[in-house]
């Protein structure tokens, strides 16, 4: 059965003069009905459904905006386009204020009307079709590029492109094409792990010019220049923010900021005690343990991040002399409420205001413990949607708006990403092995299947603290999570489908780094 045409109600007391416009719309596949006064228009909306209303603002009797309010009471979701002779700012602003979908000033051409109508009624479908055509044209090339050797810049470009397609195809609802795209991920992850196996130790040995920016470089290379052009700057770290999550948040900020996004690589392991301490200290883990032994012990939990404010203070002091630092960690609803109550005082007038927001990390970890969270954040697409919903009502957005109001530049980034893990990888270890699911330290560690993990026997290759003779490091590859043979079923039932971090995938390693300059 053919789809019925979209129906348009055009309300104008000069309907006979506009009939050529109506004919043009009918030729383009729309059904058009006319009303020459407010009462007839309201009566028609009561009696039959319409997909859109074209409404004249200046008619005898009631103003168009009065008619608009009556129509919206009857059909709250009915889009209305105002068509008027008035060019007065007051009328234009009033129309925008009541959420009129578009505003056309007479005289209008048939093509102008068609453009407005198509944008509202078919815009999402047209965009989806355009995205689908573009991806189909690009997909073959993406398949052929899978075996091409890449440097670190090439890996950033490849991952950023696949992530952009991921976001766009999911938004367009193109499930079959989205599944085709996701089919490229396993090979990408495998090749990326092979690349980092050799290149990451070389980066740590070689000069800075031959490697990408790493966690230890963010303050000197990106935050410090902000302080050269401004008395104050904000440094915001959103724990566990993935590149795809940032891509859906970025457009929400463009009304307040000019946004410039680049990328950097997290140090390994891609876990908070290592990567976030490296951000704030500018030190690799072995350097951290040597310089601050009282702040770094044998623990593997986030109590190792208890001194981020002091580390940032020391790093800035070494780079530019004493610099005022104010630090906030937001890990609960109470923390968020407190920040919003004291926004003005949270941003210093001179120096650096540093913030760590833990919501996304808490959400990803919480999925393993809560069936409700597991259901609402079932996959990457759902996790993005929840991230956006949180952000739109978050203390983070309130903070960024306040920074924009006060013309304070912001450097926003993440310490590591996460990956949706579905494949258990059996590992063999002695009792001294650490308990982490995506990375482990211990004596004689090995994976049952070598392709499931990268193994490093020399802690110096990763600039990690030495752990005694025979110790080695194991980091997960692809979407695996480590399980022991004796606890296979327990770990599978608890952690399969979890978002985890600490391993070696583009999702965990390649991170957004955004400079927000207030407009």
Strands 52-56 and 7-11: parallel
CA proximity to 247, closest of 414, 478, 415:
414
- Is 41 a member of any domain? yes
The pLDDT of residue 4: 85
Shared-domain flag, residues 61 and 170: no
pLDDT tens for each residue of 314-324: 999 999 999 99
* 134 and 262 share one domain: no
User: Interior CA angle at 247 toward 242 and 251, to 5°?
Assistant: 145
Q: Are the beta carbons of 517 and 260 closer than 8 angstroms?
A: yes
pLDDT at 497 over 90: no
Predicted local confidence at residue 302, as pLDDT: 59
Distance CA 282, CA 300 (A): 19
Q: Mean pLDDT across the stretch 333-358? A: 95
- Domain assignment of residue 476, given as a range: 423-496
- Reading the block at residue 446, the tokens are 């090995």
Using the predicted structure, report yes or no on whether residue 388 has a pLDDT greater than 70.
yes
In this prediction the pTM is: 0.87
405 & 432 share domain: no
Domain boundary among 58, 78, 108: 108
So what's the pLDDT on residue 14?
A: 85
Q: Average pLDDT of 257-269?
A: 97
Characterize 328-352 residue by residue with b for buried, 16 or more Cβ atoms within 10 angstroms of its Cβ, and e for exposed: bbbeeeebbeebeeebeebbbeebb
Instruction: Mark whether 410 and 436 lie in a shared domain.
Output: no
Give 124-134 pLDDT, tens digit per residue.
888 888 888 89
Q: Within 10 A of 17 (CB to CB), how many other CB atoms are there?
A: 10
- Which has the higher per-residue pLDDT, 181 or 86? 181
- Calpha distance 172→136 (Å, rounded): 14
pLDDT score at 50: 95
Is the same domain home to 81 and 139? no
Select from 74, 108, 142 the last residue of a domain.
Answer: 108
Question: Residue 87: pLDDT above 70?
Answer: no
Instruction: Give the tens place of pLDDT for each residue, 265-307.
Output: 999 999 999 999 999 999 999 999 999 988 886 555 557 888 9
Average pLDDT, the chain: 90
The verdict on 27 and 142 lying in the same domain is: no
Mean pLDDT is lowest, of 112-126, 211-225, 253-267, 278-292, for: 112-126
pLDDT of residue 368: 61
Neighbours of 422 (CB within 10 A): 14
Residue 457 lies in a domain: yes
Residue 276 contacts residue 285 (beta carbons within 8 Å): no
Shared domain check, 292 and 264: yes
Domain-located, residue 502: no
Q: Which tokens is 469 given? A: 């003779």
Of 78, 108, 138, the one marking the end of a domain is 108
Compute the distance between CA of residue 263 and CA of residue 51 in angstroms, rounded to an integer. 43
pLDDT of the residue at 393: 94
Alpha helix (H) ranges present in 48-103? Answer: 64-74, 89-97
As a whole number of angstroms, the distance between CA 68 and CA 76 comes to 10
pLDDT of 191 above 70 = yes
If you ran DSSP here, which 8-state letter would residue 480 be given? E
Least confident range from 123-137, 209-223, 354-368: namely: 354-368
**Token output for 2:** 């053919």
CATH classification of the domain holding 42:
3.40.50.2300
In the chain, what percentage of residues exceed pLDDT 70?
A: 95
Pairing of strands 480-483, 102-105: unpaired
Q: Is residue 201 in a domain?
A: no
Residues of the chain with pLDDT > 90, as a percent, come to 65
Residue 366 confidence (pLDDT) above 70: no
Is residue 344 situated within a structural domain?
yes
The Cα diameter of the chain in Å comes to 92
Residue 183 falls inside a structural domain: yes
* Closest to 456 measured CA to CA, from 479, 436, 476: 476
Cα of first residue to Cα of last residue in the chain, in angstroms, is 52
Q: What is each CA distance from 418 to 11, 182, 246, 317, 365, in whole angstroms?
A: 53, 16, 13, 32, 10
Same domain flag for 149 and 240: no
Gap between the Cα atoms of 332 and 341, Å rounded: 14
Q: Report the pLDDT value the prediction gives residue 375, as an integer from 0 to 100.
A: 74
Residues 404 and 474 reside in one and the same domain: no
428 and 392 within one domain: no
Inside any domain, residue 501: no
Find how far residue 256's CA is from the centre of its chain: 17
Tell whether 362 and 388 lie within a shared domain: yes
Nearest partner of 273 among 263, 283, 265, judged by Cα: 283
**pLDDT-derived band of residue 469, with 50, 70 and 90 as boundaries?**
low
Looking at the 3D structure of the chain, how many domains does it have?
4
Would 428 be classed as within a structural domain? yes
The answer on 186 and 133 residing in a single domain is yes
* CB contact burial 462-491 (16+ within 10 A = b; e otherwise): bbbbebeeebbbbbbbbbbbbbeeeeeeeb
């Amino acid at each position: 059965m053919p789809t019925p045409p979209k129906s348009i109600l055009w309300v104008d007391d000069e309907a006979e003069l506009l009939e050529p416009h109506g004919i043009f719309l009918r030729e383009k596949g729309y059904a058009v009905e006319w009303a020459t006064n407010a009462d007839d228009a309201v009566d028609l909306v009561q009696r039959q459904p319409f997909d859109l209303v074209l409404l004249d603002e200046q008619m005898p009797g009631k103003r168009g905006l009065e008619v608009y309010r009556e129509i919206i009471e009857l059909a709250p979701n009915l889009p209305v386009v105002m068509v008027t002779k008035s060019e007065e700012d007051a009328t234009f602003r009033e129309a925008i204020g009541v959420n009129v979908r578009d505003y056309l000033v007479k005289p209008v051409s048939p093509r102008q009307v068609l453009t407005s109508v198509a944008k509202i009624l078919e815009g999402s479908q047209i965009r989806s079709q355009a995205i689908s055509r573009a991806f189909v044209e690009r997909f073959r090339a993406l398949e052929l590029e899978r075996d091409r050797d890449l440097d670190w810049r090439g890996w950033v470009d490849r991952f950023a492109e696949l992530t952009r397609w991921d976001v766009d195809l999911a938004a367009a609802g193109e499930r079959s094409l989205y599944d085709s795209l996701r089919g490229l991920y396993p090979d990408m992850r495998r090749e990326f792990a092979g690349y980092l196996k050799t290149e990451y130790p070389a980066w740590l040995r070689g000069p800075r010019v031959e490697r990408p920016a790493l966690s230890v470089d963010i303050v000197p290379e990106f935050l410090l220049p902000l302080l050269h052009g401004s008395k104050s700057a904000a440094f915001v770290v959103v724990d566990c923010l993935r590149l795809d999550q940032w891509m859906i948040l970025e457009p929400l900020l463009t009304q307040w900021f000019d946004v410039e996004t680049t990328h950097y690589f997290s140090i390994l392991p891609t876990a908070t005690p290592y990567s976030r301490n490296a951000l704030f200290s500018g030190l690799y883990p072995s350097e951290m343990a040597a310089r601050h032994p009282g702040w770094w012990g044998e623990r593997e939990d986030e109590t190792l991040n208890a001194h981020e404010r002091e580390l940032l203070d020391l790093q800035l002091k070494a780079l530019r002399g004493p610099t005022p630092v104010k630090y906030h960690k937001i890990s609960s609803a109470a923390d968020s409420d407190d920040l919003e109550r004291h926004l003005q005082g949270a941003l210093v007038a001179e120096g650096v205001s540093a913030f760590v927001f833990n919501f996304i990390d808490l959400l990803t970890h919480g999925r393993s413990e809560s069936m409700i969270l597991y259901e609402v954040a079932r996959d990457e697409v759902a996790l993005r949607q929840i991230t956006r919903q949180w952000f739109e009502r978050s203390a983070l957005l309130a903070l960024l708006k306040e920074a924009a109001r006060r013309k304070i530049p912001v450097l926003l980034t993440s310490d590591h990403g996460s990956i949706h893990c579905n494949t258990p990888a059996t590992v063999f270890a002695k009792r001294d092995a650490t308990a982490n699911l995506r990375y482990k330290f211990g004596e004689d560690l090995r994976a049952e299947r070598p392709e499931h993990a990268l193994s490093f026997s020399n802690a110096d290759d990763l600039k990690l603290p030495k752990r005694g003779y025979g110790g080695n490091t194991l980091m997960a590859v692809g979407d695996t999570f480590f399980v022991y043979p004796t606890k296979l079923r327990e770990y599978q039932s608890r952690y399969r489908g979890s978002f985890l971090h600490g391993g070696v995938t583009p999702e965990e390693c390649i991170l957004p780094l955004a400079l927000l300059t207030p407009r």
